[in-house]
Each structure stands twice: as structure tokens, then as C-alpha cells.
Amino acid sequence: MLTERNYIMLPSASSTNTLLKEKILSSGAAVYDVLCAERQTAGRGRLGRTFFSPRGGIYFSAAYPIGGNEKNIPFFTLLAGIAVSRAIFELTNEETQIKWPNDIYLHNKKLCGILTELVAQNGRTHIICGVGINAGVTKEEIPPELADKMTSFAAQGLAVPNKEALIKRCVENLDALVYEQKLLNETSPAVTAELDEKSFLRGKTVIYNGQKGTAGSINTDGSINIRFAKKTERIFTGEILF
Ligand code: BTN
């Protein structure tokens, strides 16, 4: 259990995920660090995309050492989604949805993205969990090409929660799911039910690899069920359009 997290706020970073990976490669002690930045100059998203990271957003990364024998490593990103969604509710009273596998939606637009990566150091593997929340980015600051898809607390006319408090609750919630509930090895029916309840895609008509289907439940192995015309498939990777 990582009881002693060390929160570090930087005025600017290329990418907190990249910086934390580099730190872990040079010092084992960095595993306790939660690297936070006021802005990122090279924020990264899933599938090699860039992540728009101006001042006003909340950007942070934390490490989770793993033994390698954990049964549910692909479930980690969804656990992070639950941790962030719970933290947002705790601080703002706003219900958010988790869009499989790594986005958090507020009022049908993306509020937050999560990027999980692996780094190995001295035979030890760490999951690097990076979270970007579009907190105080105003409507006017959102680039036109993202305006249909992206939102923020400020753009929704909501009060922006205290940055440090929100980061701390996200990390504490995720630490509890990983280290207290041990959900990389065990399954929790309550957490699975919460995921279904928060799932943005559930019941929606979606497109996966050019095929139309209906999104179903998320499984404890981190996959999502999609019912296509002829059969239901478990989807592990890639992007689901809706
Ligand atoms: C996505 O939308 O595909 C995931 C975005 C993840 C963004 C966060 S911000 C903190 C951390 N540093 C990065 O470069 N990316 C993650």
C-alpha cells in the first residue's frame, strides 16, 4: 500500500506520464510521486494522439508497481475511471460516465482522458496512470475542432473544484481500489455494477472496425461486449465510435 504519496506540482511539463516514467527509470523512490502540472506542452493521449493541455486543466500521473502475475491488469484503466468519476462526484456533486476504456464524460462530452502505460525498471514493472481533466478551460479556449466533443467544468458553467483536492481524491480512490480492495486480482460485484451503471456506451448503437453493433456490459477482464448482427463479441482494444 502506497500510504505516503508525494505530490509535486510543476508550473509546466512536457507530459507528466513521460516525466514520471523517466524519474522511475532513474530512481525507485519516484514510485511514491504524483507528478502534477499546471499545463503540458506535449500531453499524450491513447492511440498515439496528442492531449490538449492548456493552463486551467488538471494533469497528473501516479505509478503502481505490479508483480506481473495480476489477473486483471487490463482492468486498471477502468478502475482509474471509477476512481476519477467518484472523486468528481465527491467534490462537485456531478455524475459522470465512463466511456470504455479511458474517457470520462460530463453532459455527453469528454471531460477527462486517462492514459495508462507500463515501464520496467530493475526487473520491476510499474503501471503509469496519467489523468487529464479539462477543469477550468473556458468554452472560448476550446479549439473549434474539439468543440463538439470536449467539455470542462468551466464550459458547463460549473464551479471548478480545488485542483489539489481533486487530484488527491482521485489518487486516494484509486489506491483504495488497487491496494485495499486488490481489484487487479479480485473481482467485486459492486464495482462491476458501478461500471455498468456509469458506462456511457451501454445500450448505445456503436461502430467498431466499421461494423455497427450495440454496446453491452463491461467484463471483469476489462473488455466490453458488443452485440453485432450475428454474434456478441468481447472487444479488448481499439476505438468504439458512437
Ligand atoms: C486520452 O484522452 O486518450 C488520454 C489522455 C490522458 C492525458 C493525461 S494528462 C496527464 C498525463 N500526461 C500525458 O501526457 N497524458 C496523461
C-alpha cell at 220: 471483469
**Confidence (pLDDT) at 1:** 56
**Using only C-alpha atoms, what is the Rg of the chain?**
17
Distance CA 14, CA 34 (A): 15
> Residues with Cβ < 8 Å from 114, sequence gap 6 or more?
77, 80, 81, 84, 102, 103, 104, 129, 130, 131, 132
Task: Determine which residue's CA is closest to atom 11 belonging to ligand 1.
Answer: 130
Q: pLDDT tens for residues 194-235?
A: 999 999 999 999 999 999 999 999 998 999 999 999 999 999
Ligand 1 center–CA 133 separation, angstroms: 9
Residues in the chain: 242
| d(CA 22, ligand 1 centre) in Å | 16
The confidence score (pLDDT) of residue 29 equals 80
Q: Which residues of the chain have pLDDT under 70?
A: 1-3
CA of 116 to the centre of ligand 1 (A): 8
Q: Which residues line ligand 1 (CB under 6 A)?
A: 15-17, 40, 43-46, 49, 51, 59-61, 102, 113-115, 130-132
What is the residue with the minimal CA distance to atom 15 of ligand 1? 44
Q: How far is the CA of 44 from the centre of ligand 1 (A)?
A: 5
